Amino acid sequence: MYQIHCLNPISKVGLNHLSENYSLTDNAAEADGILVRSAVMHDMELSDRLLAVARAGAGYNNIPLDKCAQKGIVVFNTPGANANGVKEMIIAAMLLASRDIVGGIEWVKENHQNPEIAKATEKAKKAFAGTEIMGKTLGVIGLGAIGAMVANVAEQLGMKVMGYDPFLSVDAAWKLSHSVKHVTDVNEIYSSCDFITIHVPAMDSTKGMIGKDAIALMKPNAVILNFARDVLCDEQAVVDALAEGRIRRYVSDFPTPVTSGKPGCIVIPHLGASTEESEDNCAVMAVKEIEDYLENGSIVNSVNYPRCEVGPCRTASRVAVLHRNVAGMLTAITTCAADAGINIAEVVNKSRDEVAYTLIDLDQKATAQMVDSLNAISGVFRVRVIK
């Protein structure tokens, strides 16, 4: 029986997918797996029993990836599960930035007691007039699950779309409309587009990527949309540019002291993926990822270990070894089986940067001697006997 702990409220639709082999626990120290949304885990004591963490969402900066990797804890996220919810919010954001809908609604609230409000409206509405998005150019930085969906819908709405992604996968490329122009220089996005939306992970190389230099290339009517991470934009540079009339609007899903309430900023309280459907989809995917890993050793959508898709074990035993990615490790692992007199039916070895993952299917049950020998190898983080 596996124990699962939820650090945040997790959709019941997802939890209902847990099989009879699982139970929920309120004690994180007893958990084999943890489901999390926004709770910060960096200062959390990670139990030696913990095998996996699944983030019900795409972002994972609330989880200590390196710390988990070195303890042999696989961390998953759920890319694409909330993409539609974010996509719809971005389309709404473009409309909010193009036409002063918010200002118009506020005017109605302020004048709701005016018995002549209908007549006054005809004079006041000019102040909230805007432009249409049809025919405008949208630049999409990052063509993953969300970026590709935004690009395709924008094209269907009559917009011209340019996309930038130096790491565009073949799978992502297939999902893009043939009308989306793929550019290889992000500066072309900055200089050519009326709307710019960013969809890249927050890393040292991407933090502040939309700053003074990028803004200097933009049109004075440019609208920046940030529904990925607040740190991707130098928000002070954005606020300064708005004040100086060098860009038109900044729409963000991340309230911060820098942008909240500032002229030209439309700040939304992190609602991008906050739909019932998105939360359900993320929870279902997170549960399936943990189940597949705990029961079969499969790793899909991990952010700290390599992808390793395998089916159920068809031999007498399956052993997983999580270890450093160093020379000679595979030989050392297989030697442990040989020394125990156990024949190896199949070996799968995958690596990712400094860590690696090895699955060995055996024709006999793994013995305590073999497991002890594996654990004694320098550079091994964890050994799991799955079957």
- pLDDT tens-digit series, residues 282-319: 999 999 999 999 999 999 999 999 999 999 999 999 99
Place 175 in a pLDDT band, splitting at 50, 70 and 90: confident
**pLDDT (tens digit, 9 = 90+) per residue, 51-89?**
999 999 988 989 999 999 999 999 999 989 999 999 999
φ, ψ (nearest 5 deg) of residue 74: -85, 130
Q: Could you tell me if 314 and 350 are in contact, meaning their C-beta atoms sit under 8 angstroms apart?
A: no
Order of strands across the sheet that contains 317-324: 344-352, 355-362, 317-324, 380-385
Q: How far does the chain reach from its first CA to its final CA, in angstroms?
A: 13
Cβ of 294: how many Cβ atoms within 10 Å? 20
Rounded CA separation 35/3 (Å): 11
Q: Which residue, 172, 146, 55, 37, is CA-closest to 93? A: 146
Look at residue 168 in the predicted model and tell me its pLDDT: 81
3-state secondary structure of 183: strand
Given a cut of 90, is residue 365 above it in pLDDT?
yes
Structure confidence by residue, pLDDT tens digits, 156-169: 999 999 999 988 87
Q: What is the pLDDT of residue 139?
A: 98
Sorted by sequence, the CB contacts under 8 Å of residue 38 that are 6+ apart come out as 8, 57, 62
What pLDDT score was predicted for residue 203? 86
- pLDDT above 70: percentage of residues in the chain: 100
Question: How much is the pLDDT for 178?
Answer: 87
Query: In which residue are the tokens 């156990």 written?
Result: 342
CA dihedral 59, 65, 69, 74 (to 10 degrees): -20
Secondary structure (3-state) at 139: strand
Q: What is the CA radius of gyration of the chain?
A: 25
Tell me how far the alpha carbon of residue 239 is from its chain's centroid.
26
pLDDT average, residue stretch 354-375: 97
